[in-house]
Chain A
Amino acid sequence: MFRKRPPPEEERRVRANDREYNEKFQYASNCIVTSKYNIITFLPVNLFEQFQEVANTYFLFLLILQLIPQISSLSWFTTIVPLALVLSITAVKDATDDYFRHKSDNQVNNRQSQVLIRGSLQNEKWMNVRVGDIIKLENNQFVAADVLLLFSSEPHGLCYIETAELDGETNMKVRQSVSVTSEPGDPNNLASFDGEVVCEPPNNKLDRFCGTLYWRDKKYTLTNQNMLLRGCVLRNTEACYGLVIFAGPDTKLMQNSGRTKFKRTSIDRLMNTLVLWIFGFLVCMGVILAVGNAVWEREVGSLFQSYLPWDPPVDNFLFSAFLSFWSYVIILNTVVPISLYVSVEVIRLGHSYFINWDQQMFCSQCNTAAAARTTTLNEELGQVEYIFSDKTGTLTQNIMSFNKCSINGQTYGEVADPLGPQPKKLDFTPFNPLADPGFCFYDDTLLESVKVGDSHTHEFFRLLSLCHTVMSEEKSEGELVYKAQSPDEGALVAAARNFGFMFCSRTPGTITIREMGQPVTYTLLAILDFNNIRKRMSVIVRNPEGRIRLYCKGADTVLLERLHPCNQELMNITSDHLNEYAADGLRTLALAYRDLTEDEWEAWAESHRCAGKATSCREDRLAATYDQIEQDMMLLGATAIEDKLQEGVPETIAILSLANIKIWVLTGDKQETAVNIGYSCKMLTDDMTEVFIISGHTVQSVRQELRRARERMIELSRTRDGGKEEGTGGWSEACFMGNGVREGQGRDVAGGVKQLQCSPPPPSNLTDNISGEFALVINGHSLAHALEADMETEFVSTACACKAVICCRVTPLQKAQVVELIKKHKKAVTLAIGDGANDVGMIKSAHIGVGISGQEGIQAALASDYSFSQFRFLQRLLLVHGRWSYLRMCRFLCYFFYKNFAFTMVHFWFGFFCGFSAQTVYDQYFITLYNIVYTSLPVLAMGIFDQDVPDHRSLEYPKLYEPGQLNLLFNKREFFICIAQGIYTSVVLFFVPYTVLSDATQSTGVPLADHQTFAMTTATALVIVVSVQIALGTGFWTVINHVCVWGSLGSYFTIMFALHSQTLFRIFPSQFHFVGSAQSTLLQPVVWLTIALATAICIVPVLAVRFLKLALRPRLSDTVRYTQLVRQKKRKAVSRSAGGGWRSAGSVSEGRLGTRGGSRRSGYAFAHQEGFGELITSGKNMRLSSLALATFASRHSSSWIDTLRRKKHTHTHTPPSTSEECSSAPSCVSGSVPPLSNSSSILGGSQDTPIEEDVGTASAQNTQTVPTSSAQTQPALAPDSEATAPQDSALALSTGIFTSPAVRYHGGDSPGGWTVSLGTVQEALFGWKGIAVHTNASNSPGAPSVAKETSQLE
């Protein structure tokens, strides 16, 4: 910790195999210390750290004040006991944390590594590896330090590494040793290697290294390509040797693991402000009382000196007042109790554990549970307004599946009935024992075609198995693992494998595949590698027969141009297929081949060699030669790959936006891809009024585009509002209300009336009202301008007016900047969610960072505050855990301030009756224990366990999330209400005993107005009042709450009797002078009558106010809770299974997802990296562009956008047709039954109707719930449902999921306003089917798909 720091290095000199030389520089050893303490330093260092906390210092200051006898109004232990408790709890926590750090340090430091010492390899622990050592690394080993690669067992001194721990990228990277050291080819020579490296000092730049190797009087330049960094894993490389350059804390890994910024929640900040205010209040009270003391001492005290002379240091009333001020500061300090901070921490810790324990956030596929990595942010999860999401790996699975293909004009993979019963997965094993069982394909005609030996099909798969840069690795006999650079390549190779063309292995010169079981080795003549401009890659191979063939795959735009003219017809058919695929949101590639004659090849090879040797413009010349040969190709077909969305993404996004959370997608993908993903996860919908695309390249154009977008929005919303008044909107809303009320709440008579009125549903013109939702798509280069200081506000105001914002082509830095921007301009809580290293910036800068611990390494998860493995868990994290945490924390804080004001302010009032002498009302032990024993546990239990509505309800009613965003439950107003209530209580608690006891006597005639009786009475009344108050505040009485509340009351009496017992007094006569007062006081009926009176006066108004609030202005949560309880009461007979309850809610989303959405339309880019091809063939040129996001042909995508536009056009112009189609078609009526009955079942029966734990799909669930619910809840309504159904469907269509302007428009203006929103929310939520119907109807021609949907639902 306090190691002497050597002066900063200017450059580093390392000589291999020369420890003495290197020791001169005192480089850090490879021992890593992340722990903060050891056994000896723990206490002082930890205490020092703890006293840096203002609160702790404050209490230390109080403690010192208390040691001054003239001031001390309390015994020293009243402060030191809580302080010690707080310090020790924190210390224990720190110690445990540090223990685990020690443990992990030890584990890392004790890893074995092979070090070359005096010519022989010796096992050494990592911590003993020194700078300048040569170490041997083996396959799959972690690299121990930052080493310079000297020698690799692989040819050309290559070695492959995986850098997942470092930067989160899982694809392999290549490093090459300095040629001169790898040439000898014998590792034994390395023992005598004595080169010296001079390089830059340690830094944290992962992608940069510059240094020079001096060896045998020669200089060799070293770059990052020669370095293996600590944290990487060696792959596909048998062994390699490296020279340690940076060790331990100097390694780039450690240099990068900077201490993360400490995040505070807004409640924290509010709390700190409030605590400051309270300090101010405390000082005010102190001043008032000190002035009072001055007056008293002058008027009375000075005269009273015959009985009570002033203390020697006090010679006048002013000085006495000064001392009295400090005395009161001590007494009244409990308004800011030290236990506040500890309790808050404890509660947050509890909430974090609940997050960790939540089974519903556990992903069984990847065996990861959700983890709250930061324990201090939980309640902020209940206040999120903006979510910034990464795309790849977060919204999408980053798993590509080979979905469809077109071979020689014939399309395969088209499932006849996408919404019908799931077609059977093809079983490849009988045909091909080597098939990957994980591969899914549904069209058996393709397999047939392979089996019958269709030459085109064979050639198609041969191409797929040859033309790629995938590396294979044989893990065990027969078990091949492909290492693909891009997931889609992997998917293609895997597909070829399953269809009988298995890629087995490759050498720089050959590729071996198994064709229908027969191993065939092709000579690899050339790889014409992919790059962003070419958008294609080719291989030239010679087959065993000696024929030379070029295989090419690439973006259709470029490839179709290079076909032989004779392909025209095939090309047209394939183009159609490609358009279809793109419309389905699949990533497409076109495949082609060309036969080459020996001469052609020779000629080309020659020109290629020339180009390769060229020193200038080598790239361009190579590209030109490639271009030259990739001509006149024969089209084979096309592939379509699906980029799978993560489970439940559209549902999650829908629910989150219903909860008024704005979702921004920040992605590195190009615009088309991002927009398509936006559609497929329902961020963007066809119902949106307009999607603005900002893609200007200059400041001016960006500004103009932003302005225009805003103007357009204003214009459009104005016309929309105008249209609204015309009546149809009102109709639909009224119906909505009616339904919502009847289905959702079934309580508002007025609602029922409305429903009757609107029973003939207005079928037409509904689409007019759903407008008014905007989306913004902004490109990275435009964003760069938009983020400039002068345009920030412009951008924020435009973007925040939009429902959805998609930023594409953004850099990691921009991601963070966008988050910072919103943080700066909107006082809103932001949450960033991502999975890759490129998301770390935004995860760290957002208020809350969530990491998806998925495929792309753990970097994001490590930097995050919360991590889990599925995007859909976000809804549970926010809507359930976050909401609860916020609620609990708010209730906790309200109560906590209340109880301390009630407790402390009694002293203030007493001050006026005791000469402002800082005399305490209570016994000092009571003061000590009040906060830590008598009242701590019930409020902690409430803060940890309280629930207003069950978890599945908060998912069903996302609107329940809004109070958190609006900060309604704890703000300055609530705080003042709390302390006002506390002060009221204190007034009652002082003046009721005061008036009663001043004249009262025991039945033995002994007066009750002695101080000890008064103290006991007040204290007991206080404990009872605050216990009743917490009992009223607790909405969820678990066993633990009962134990805590009753236990605290019990402990109060027990401890009081114990402290006032003779035994203790006999031992410490001077400490326990309240002896006997508990017994004597609590036996008096008058005392109990006083306590009862005080309690009644305190509680009755609270109860009355709460009741009236509940009756007159109920919150949504109250209503939900109420209906829940009513239902529960009614259905007591049915066994209560909460598990089943949530399951039904959860499985709704799961099930729906399970259906393979035919309307997904992600048109993806061909994501691939350049350079591997050359590596494979030559191994000379090593450049790997790290982030090569290829651009794929924009033809489909843009045409897709056009389609979208067109669609919108037709939509707005022919609205009747859409609604007619749905409202009149009988299939549609039945299609809308599920939402209806579903909603009633959710409200009525989801908790109570027994639903199997494993409800697989939506259809299964629906078929199950429809009959049960309609039979159980509303048998009388069964015929009715038919009548309401059309209107329901129409509503679901019109209002949809995202469009709830009606909700907002109507919510809250009538006393029953909440019902409206409630019903609508629910309707919207369960209008899923409606949406699905809708999108289908608009996507695929005609109603058949609608019918399909319904048939599936039924």
Chain B
Amino acid sequence: MVKQKQETANQPDNTAFTQQRLPAWQPIISAGIVIPGFLIIGLAFIGIGVALFVTSQSIQVLEMDYTGVDKTSPCNRCTDPNVKSCLCQMDFSIDTLFKGPVFFYYGLSNYYQNFRKYGVSIDYNQLFGDLSYFTSPSEKCSPYQYDNNNNPIVPCGAMANSMFSDTFKLFQIVNGTNKEVPLDGKGIAWWTDSNIKYRNPSVTPLQMAFNNTVKPLLWANPAYQLDPADANNNGFINQDFLVWMRRAALPNFRKLYRRITSGDYTQGLPAGNYTLQIAYNYPVLSFGGRKTVVFSNVSWMGGKNDFLGIAYLVIGSMCIIMSIVMLIVYAKFRFSEEE
């Protein structure tokens, strides 16, 4: 008995694992799965594609370039760098009701917010309201860390410095008079941005926190005076600031400026003539940039997006074509399962 035990002392364990006999599912790309699978996927994609396409078609978008490159453009005169606080007006008309809620975007193109150095030129600690970073901003903000007098810049960095500074007012021309369309700037930024990521230092009044600091070089007003109308929309949690600080992924991008949800415009923008008053502050022509304003409404799937629907339709039909091809191939060279 003992001897027997000894004889098998080195014997490996007889378990499914050690003997590589674990129960296993061994799928195989068989016709029975692949062809119906392709068919189902194809049909599903076509279904989704149709839905997306139809939805997308119903979305209205109005986009206007106001850079003023053209001599005829109303904002052309503002492109002169010597002109300060330039105002220009764009007139447009809407034929049918622009269903609400209408979103009002500004768009920039050829603007590299996604440039690496642009993106890193930011001090998250400072923007988190940490006062110690007010006096000594992060190295990363260089060259917008200190001004020429060696005063710390708050908020520091290229990103904050280059904040979009054009402002817009929208009027409906009703019987020859301009009726201002109320623009709602609340909640246009991410909730996490305004509530968690960015914070004002807990100092009241807010201005005190900014003692011995200077505003970013390109800014008209310091951070604590970004929104004179709403005291709670100042400092780092100013919605426009937050929108700007959410970096765009691509060089052509849109950012939400306002919503049109209130007053007479809850249902949307009725047909008629409108004029857009633009405080033209933000130069982009030097690097070939363009500025646009966009009005759009949304569906369950967001804004207008024809590509998605078309792509789904194309892929869906390709799946179905593939499944037919496979069926032919299979019929010709199949494994005969019955035998």
Which listed residue, B22, B112, B337, touches A914 by the CB 8 Å rule?
Answer: B112
Q: Any chain B CB within 8 A of the CB of A54?
A: no
A1122 to B283, CA, bound (A): 67
Q: Any chain B CB within 8 A of the CB of A915?
A: yes
When distances are taken between beta carbons in the complex, the residues of chain B under 8 Å from A311 are 117, 142-143
A1239 to B36, CA, bound (A): 35
Q: Any chain A CB within 8 A of the CB of B278?
A: no
A450 to B325, CA, bound (A): 84
Q: Any chain A CB within 8 A of the CB of B171?
A: no
A749 to B250, CA, bound (A): 59
Q: Any chain B CB within 8 A of the CB of A917?
A: yes
* Residue contact B322 to A1100, C-beta cutoff 8 Å: yes
When distances are taken between beta carbons in the complex, the residues of chain A under 8 Å from B330 are 1111
A1075 to B197, CA, bound (A): 7
A1035 to B125, CA, bound (A): 50
Contacting chain A: which of B9-17, B90-98, B203-211, B223-231? B9-17
In the complex, the chain A residue whose C-beta lies closest to that of B287 is A303
* Residue contact A1000 to B114, C-beta cutoff 8 Å: no
User: Chain A's nearest CB lies how many Å from the CB of B43?
Assistant: 13
A1124 to B326, CA, bound (A): 23
* Residue contact A1122 to B335, C-beta cutoff 8 Å: yes
User: Chain A's nearest CB lies how many Å from the CB of B236?
Assistant: 12
Q: Any chain A CB within 8 A of the CB of B71?
A: no
Q: Any chain B CB within 8 A of the CB of A1126?
A: yes
Q: Any chain B CB within 8 A of the CB of A1110?
A: yes
A362 in contact with B12 given A1036-B24, A1038-B24, A1100-B315 (CB within 8 Å): yes
Interface residues of A in 1212-1267 (CB under 8 A from B): none
User: Chain B's nearest CB lies how many Å from the CB of A372?
Assistant: 12
User: Chain B's nearest CB lies how many Å from the CB of A188?
Assistant: 42
User: Chain B's nearest CB lies how many Å from the CB of A615?
Assistant: 56
User: Chain A's nearest CB lies how many Å from the CB of B53?
Assistant: 12
Contacting chain B: which of A114-122, A143-151, A1001-1009? A1001-1009
Interface code B83-115, partner A: CB below 8 Å = 1, 0 otherwise? 000000000000000000101010000101111
Interface code B1-44, partner A: CB below 8 Å = 1, 0 otherwise? 00000111111111000111111111111110010001001000
* Residue contact A1038 to B318, C-beta cutoff 8 Å: no
A1121 to B128, CA, bound (A): 60
When distances are taken between beta carbons in the complex, the residues of chain B under 8 Å from A800 are none
Q: Any chain B CB within 8 A of the CB of A1275?
A: no
Which listed residue, B29, B253, B333, touches A1106 by the CB 8 Å rule?
Answer: B29
A364 in contact with B7 given A747-B335, A1010-B249 (CB within 8 Å): yes
Which listed residue, B34, B248, B312, B339, touches A1011 by the CB 8 Å rule?
Answer: B248
A1005 to B299, CA, bound (A): 9
In the complex, the chain B residue whose C-beta lies closest to that of A307 is B162
Q: Any chain B CB within 8 A of the CB of A951?
A: yes
A286 to B102, CA, bound (A): 45
* Residue contact B311 to A1007, C-beta cutoff 8 Å: no
* Residue contact B336 to A1003, C-beta cutoff 8 Å: no
A1090 in contact with B308 given A1037-B24, A1100-B322 (CB within 8 Å): yes
When distances are taken between beta carbons in the complex, the residues of chain A under 8 Å from B333 are 1111-1112, 1311
When distances are taken between beta carbons in the complex, the residues of chain B under 8 Å from A1066 are 196
A306 to B117, CA, bound (A): 14
* Residue contact B336 to A359, C-beta cutoff 8 Å: no
* Residue contact A992 to B311, C-beta cutoff 8 Å: yes
When distances are taken between beta carbons in the complex, the residues of chain B under 8 Å from A918 are 116
Interface residues of B in 288-336 (CB under 8 A from A): 288, 296, 298-305, 307-308, 311-312, 315, 318-319, 322, 325-326, 329-330, 333-336
When distances are taken between beta carbons in the complex, the residues of chain A under 8 Å from B27 are 1035, 1037
In the complex, the chain B residue whose C-beta lies closest to that of A320 is B117
A1011 in contact with B249 given A358-B19, A1100-B41, A1107-B326 (CB within 8 Å): yes
Which listed residue, B13, B304, B337, touches A999 by the CB 8 Å rule?
Answer: B304
Which listed residue, A747, A917, A947, A1038, touches B339 by the CB 8 Å rule?
Answer: A747
A486 to B10, CA, bound (A): 30
In the complex, the chain A residue whose C-beta lies closest to that of B104 is A1005
Q: Any chain B CB within 8 A of the CB of A1062?
A: yes
Q: Any chain B CB within 8 A of the CB of A426?
A: no
Q: Any chain A CB within 8 A of the CB of B180?
A: no
A307 to B11, CA, bound (A): 73
A1096 in contact with B112 given A362-B12, A1001-B296 (CB within 8 Å): no
Q: Any chain B CB within 8 A of the CB of A995?
A: yes
In the complex, the chain B residue whose C-beta lies closest to that of A914 is B114
A300 in contact with B335 given A1070-B124, A1085-B300 (CB within 8 Å): no
A947 to B16, CA, bound (A): 14
A1004 to B21, CA, bound (A): 53
* Residue contact A1069 to B125, C-beta cutoff 8 Å: yes
Number of interface residues, chain B, beta carbon within 8 A: 106
Q: Any chain A CB within 8 A of the CB of B276?
A: no
A1009 to B256, CA, bound (A): 11
* Residue contact B196 to A1076, C-beta cutoff 8 Å: yes
Interface code A329-373, partner B: CB below 8 Å = 1, 0 otherwise? 000000000000000000000000110111110101001110000
Which listed residue, A364, A748, A913, A1103, touches B34 by the CB 8 Å rule?
Answer: A1103
User: Chain A's nearest CB lies how many Å from the CB of B271?
Assistant: 22
Q: Any chain A CB within 8 A of the CB of B237?
A: no
User: Chain B's nearest CB lies how many Å from the CB of A343?
Assistant: 19
User: Chain B's nearest CB lies how many Å from the CB of A793?
Assistant: 43
When distances are taken between beta carbons in the complex, the residues of chain A under 8 Å from B193 are 1076
In the complex, the chain A residue whose C-beta lies closest to that of B326 is A1107
User: Chain A's nearest CB lies how many Å from the CB of B20?
Assistant: 6
Which listed residue, A359, A913, A999, touches B303 by the CB 8 Å rule?
Answer: A999
* Residue contact B161 to A1009, C-beta cutoff 8 Å: no
* Residue contact B10 to A1039, C-beta cutoff 8 Å: no
* Residue contact A359 to B14, C-beta cutoff 8 Å: yes
Contacting chain A: which of B72-80, B148-156, B184-192, B262-270? B184-192
Q: Any chain B CB within 8 A of the CB of A32?
A: no
Q: Any chain B CB within 8 A of the CB of A1079?
A: yes
Q: Any chain B CB within 8 A of the CB of A1080?
A: yes
Interface code A860-885, partner B: CB below 8 Å = 1, 0 otherwise? 00000000000000000000000010
When distances are taken between beta carbons in the complex, the residues of chain A under 8 Å from B283 are 306
A748 to B338, CA, bound (A): 11
Q: Any chain A CB within 8 A of the CB of B45?
A: yes
User: Chain A's nearest CB lies how many Å from the CB of B282?
Assistant: 10
* Residue contact B28 to A749, C-beta cutoff 8 Å: no
User: Chain B's nearest CB lies how many Å from the CB of A997?
Assistant: 7
Which listed residue, A308, A1009, A1089, touches B121 by the CB 8 Å rule?
Answer: A308
When distances are taken between beta carbons in the complex, the residues of chain B under 8 Å from A1125 are 26, 28, 30
When distances are taken between beta carbons in the complex, the residues of chain B under 8 Å from A1069 are 124-125, 128, 130, 197
Which listed residue, B8, B26, B123, B335, touches A367 by the CB 8 Å rule?
Answer: B8
Of listed B25, B38, B189, residue having the most chain A CB within 10 A: B25
Q: Any chain A CB within 8 A of the CB of B252?
A: yes
In the complex, the chain A residue whose C-beta lies closest to that of B329 is A1111
**17 additional contacts (CB under 8 A) given A307-B118, A311-B142:** A304-B286, A353-B18, A359-B18, A362-B11, A747-B339, A996-B308, A1003-B301, A1004-B187, A1005-B103, A1006-B188, A1007-B248, A1009-B254, A1014-B249, A1014-B250, A1084-B302, A1100-B322, A1122-B335
Q: Which 3 A-B pairs have the closest CB atoms?
A: A1076-B192, A1014-B249, A357-B18
30 examples of A-B residue contacts, CB within 8 angstroms: A300-B110, A304-B115, A304-B286, A306-B286, A307-B118, A308-B121, A311-B117, A312-B142, A357-B12, A359-B12, A919-B115, A995-B307, A995-B311, A999-B303, A1000-B303, A1001-B103, A1001-B302, A1001-B303, A1002-B302, A1003-B298, A1003-B302, A1006-B256, A1011-B249, A1037-B25, A1038-B22, A1075-B192, A1086-B305, A1089-B52, A1103-B29, A1106-B29
**Interface positions of B (Cβ within 8 A of A):** 6-14, 18-31, 34, 38, 41, 45, 48, 52, 101, 103, 105, 110, 112-119, 121, 123-125, 128, 130, 138-139, 142-143, 158, 161-162, 187-193, 196-197, 246-256, 259, 283, 286-288, 296, 298-305, 307-308, 311-312, 315, 318-319, 322, 325-326, 329-330, 333-337, 339
